[in-house]
Chains A and B, each alone.
Chain A
Amino acid sequence: MSVPLHIGFIPLVDAAALIVAVDKGFAAVEGLDVTLVREVSWSNVRDKLNIGLFDAAHLLAPVAIASSLGIGHVKVPIVAPFNLGINGNAITVSPVLHAALMGELDGDRFDPMATARALARVVTARRKKGAEPLTFAMTFPFSTHNYQLRFWIAAGGVDPDEDVRLVVLPPPFMAQSLASGQIDGFCAGAPWNSVAVDRGDGHILHFVSDILVRAAEKVLAVRQGWAEKNVGVVAALTRAASRAADFVEQDRAETARILAKPDRIGVDAEVIQRTLEGRLKISPDGTMRESDRYLLVGREAAARPDPVQAAWLLSQMARWGQTTVSPKALATAMAVFRPDLYDVALGTSAPAGATEPFTAFAGPAFDVGDVEGYLASFAVTRKAL
């Protein structure tokens, strides 16, 4: 007898392991009868997971943490036995802003510190002229996009809350909003940056792997209480996702075809395949840029949840005044990411050897033992009210 599950997702390439698990039959092999439900907003995904309309969800890692801490919404403890994606976002700017930034550039254009300094000069020049502040869009207040965008903006001394405007927009609306001049730039996941470039509306300025080498992006989220009552189902779902994640890396063409279907992502397979391969057109003139770190799904241990990633996300929530860091909050956040559930399902164990230092292009290496010290090293921050 198969177990019926309802799982929500947002049309993004980093839902690949989940979608492939269902559409290639890996979930069925594990005895799961999964109905995937495509959603239009992260708020919906969160609410439907919280109240039990969904058994599991493709969820922004920071939303899983915020929900477990009761920040910004109802407190429902969430756990993640599987990490659906590392990185995958990019910062895209309008052709006008791109030209302005390149005009002010004093270093390598792929160096985020150089572009952040250029941004600071553009912002100052606009203020002197009395022009409207620049507007940047991201996808949710509790999103990696929000923190990555802020991290970059602030590195050049620009205050993301005072000197520019930050708005939330659904990813499929980004390209159009850039074209209409409503926004000057955005940070979103694949394939929406490529869509903007293909339309001639934007230039990809940075892959988020320029900002932080490795950032947990989306998780496979379940309610903690549900996970405790359904240990076997969680393990089965984790195995299905793991086999699917391997498939995603092995057969990108087939994965792209599956994801391209109208009831999945509904975007041209060729564009999706480019993002899976980390081979992106970054300018409407056809300039390409490649990175093997653009989006990690089933390689470099991307799928095993790493609690240090959760701690970094909490530090960013605190940096921007969404919460404060206490030892209890830190423990709660880290307990959302569950490598133990991953290991139980797959018979794996913690990778041997020293872990890479957790570094971004600005600031010191992140130290989970001294989050306050880490935060104190940044000049631009915001206090929680």
Chain B
Amino acid sequence: MGTEASPKIVIVDESPIRAAILQEGLREAGYTEVVHISEMQSLLARIYALDPDIIVIDLENPSRDSLEQMFQVSRAVRRPIAMFVDQSDAASIQASVDAGVSAYIVDGLKKERIKPILDLCVSRFNAFARLQNELDRTKSALEERKVIDRAKGILMKLKGLTEEEAYVLMRSTAMREKKKIGEIAQSILTASELLK
């Protein structure tokens, strides 16, 4: 491998969005040789064929154990694969496991060339997790909105209230019981299911 050549990076990830985010980040940083594998069948055969310098895999991926096998002495391996860090790099391992990503490096690749790639992977994985959280929060806010609307409807019908009055009743109950309005709305739905 030439010292100036861009290392060949393989991304193993079943999430196409996260892989795209990572791929884009690596390309922007000047790493031109990036391949994404999303198909886990015959994963090792594809990796052997691609012969990458670095393999990045997400920790939700059960195929990670199959990759570990490449540490082992085997006819199929052309170049030995090593864990991405040595003993002194505990902080790097911690950061990557926290972010939900792991990387395998072909033995002999210089540490100073690996570090920026790993840092980038960790920050992109973290960015993706934040995005996912936001999406989940938005989704649950939407869900809560729906629950409140349905509970309002039940109160309006049962107690002959206006929409405004129904909302005020739920809100004051929530304040009195030190609960969220969504929880009060949910208990109204549950109660009305039970009493059907």
Taking Cβ atoms with an 8 Å cutoff, the residues of A that contact B are: 40-44, 47-48, 50-51, 53, 70, 72-75, 139-141, 161-162, 167-170, 172-173, 182, 321-322, 382, 384-385
Contacts and interface: CB of A to CB of B under 8 A. Distances in A.
Given A41-B62, A140-B65, A168-B69, 6 more contacts: A40-B61, A48-B97, A74-B90, A162-B75, A182-B42, A384-B73
Contact residues of A: prevailing secondary structure: loop
Given A51-B97, A75-B87, A167-B44, A141 B69 contact: yes
B18 interface: no
Contact of B68 (A48, A72, A74, A172): A72
Nearest to A73: B83
B102 A47 contact: yes
12 contacts: A41-B65, A42-B65, A43-B65, A51-B90, A51-B93, A51-B94, A70-B87, A139-B65, A141-B72, A173-B62, A321-B73, A322-B72
A43 B87 contact: no
A48 B94 CA distance: 9
A307 B59 CA distance: 32
A138 B66 CA distance: 10
Nearest to A72: B71
A40 B60 CA distance: 7
B89 to A, nearest CB: 9
A8 B182 CA distance: 33
Contacts of A43: 64-65, 67-68, 102
Contact of B61 (A41, A48, A75, A169): A41
Contacts of A70: 87
Contacts of B94: 51
Contacts of A75: 87
A329 B93 CA distance: 25
B97 A140 contact: no
A331 to B, nearest CB: 21
Contacts of A40: 59-62, 64
B93 A47 contact: yes
Of A41, A42, A169, A173, which is in contact with the most chain B CB atoms at under 10 Å from its CB? Answer: A41
B186 interface: no
Contact of B62 (A48, A170, A182): A170
B63 interface: yes
A385 B63 contact: no
The 9 A-B residue pairs with the shortest CB-CB distance in the complex, in nearest-first order:
A170-B62, A41-B64, A40-B62, A168-B69, A41-B65, A168-B66, A43-B64, A51-B94, A141-B72
Contacts, number: 76
Given A41-B61, A182-B41, A141 B68 contact: yes
Interface string B40-72: 011010000000000000011111111111011
Contacts of B102: 43, 47
A176 to B, nearest CB: 10
Of B41, B62, B64, B83, which is in contact with the most chain A CB atoms at under 10 Å from its CB? Answer: B62
B3 interface: no
A70 B87 CA distance: 9
A140 B68 contact: yes
A70 B86 CA distance: 11
A321 B63 CA distance: 23
Contacts of B93: 47, 50-51, 74
Nearest to B67: A43
Contacts of B97: 47-48, 51, 53
Contacts of B85: 74
A72 B97 CA distance: 18
Nearest to A143: B65
A360 B67 CA distance: 30
Interface string B160-179: 00000000000000000000
A167 B62 CA distance: 14
A139 B66 CA distance: 8
A50 B97 CA distance: 11
Nearest to B72: A141
A172 B73 contact: no
Contacts of A72: 68, 71-72
Contacts of B75: 161-162
Given A40-B60, A47-B97, A167 B90 contact: no
A280 B72 CA distance: 33
A364 B49 CA distance: 42
B108 to A, nearest CB: 15
A43 B84 CA distance: 14
A172 B83 contact: no
A165 to B, nearest CB: 8
Of A161, A170, A322, which is in contact with the most chain B CB atoms at under 10 Å from its CB? Answer: A170
A53 B95 CA distance: 11
A382 B75 CA distance: 12
A327 B156 CA distance: 80
Contacts of A322: 72
B5 to A, nearest CB: 27
Contacts of B74: 161
Contacts of B60: 40
A385 B73 contact: yes
A40 B42 CA distance: 18
